[in-house]
């Protein structure tokens, strides 16, 4: 799976090895389970929805990118974004979700597919534009990106 939480684990490691180990084991239980009752695409859509509900747009965007690379369709995303409007309201969607990096990634996917671009090409561009290089999506420790704060 792309966009693994490598930099998040580096941040946990700053706190301590014990917590990093515990969180790593938990991550493996949730995302690494090979005989999971819920397929990864569905887990990612559920995780995306929960992240939006909690206001964690960075996480939601990462889950969207991962879900699309695993085969989620634009039609599924259309329904999911309709649910965001339904469950959170027009005002929240207009002020929080619509102008977000999450919605930009969704629109990018939809526009590229509508334009007839091949899915593999969309995935490549999507991960470039909305992956670790995007500061609104990356989980890298900000201390590193601003050259240290010491």
Q: What residue numbers bound the domain in which 120 lies?
A: 38-139
Q: Is the residue at 55 inside a domain?
A: yes
Asked if residues 5 and 139 have their Cβ atoms less than 8 Å apart, the reply is: yes
Q: Is the residue at 17 inside a domain?
A: no
- Please state the domain count of the chain: 1
DSSP percent split of the chain into helix, strand, coil, nearest 5: 70, 0, 30
Mean pLDDT of 77-81: 98
Q: Is the residue at 126 inside a domain?
A: yes
Digit-coded pLDDT (tens) for 9-21: 777 888 889 988 8
Q: What is the pLDDT of residue 145?
A: 52
Q: Is the residue at 4 inside a domain?
A: no
Rounded CA-CA distance 27/75 in Å is 29
The answer to whether the Cα torsion of 111, 112, 116, 120 is positive or negative is negative
Q: Is the residue at 113 inside a domain?
A: yes
The pTM is what?
Answer: 0.82
């Amino acid at each position: 799976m792309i966009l693994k939480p490598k930099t998040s684990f580096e941040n946990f490691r700053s706190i301590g090895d014990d917590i990093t180990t515990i969180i790593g084991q938990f991550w493996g239980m949730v995302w690494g389970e090979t005989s999971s009752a819920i397929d990864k695409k569905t887990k990612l859509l559920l995780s995306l929805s929960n992240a939006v509900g909690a206001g964690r747009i960075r996480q939601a965007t990462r889950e969207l990118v991962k879900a699309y690379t695993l085969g989620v369709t634009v039609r599924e995303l259309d329904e999911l974004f309709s649910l965001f409007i339904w469950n959170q309201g027009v005002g929240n969607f207009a002020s929080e979700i619509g102008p977000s990096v999450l919605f930009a990634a969704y629109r990018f996917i939809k526009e590229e597919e509508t334009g007839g671009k091949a899915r593999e090409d969309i995935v490549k561009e999507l991960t470039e534009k909305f992956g670790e290089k995007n500061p609104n999506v990356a989980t890298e420790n900000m201390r590193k990106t601003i050259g240290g704060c010491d």
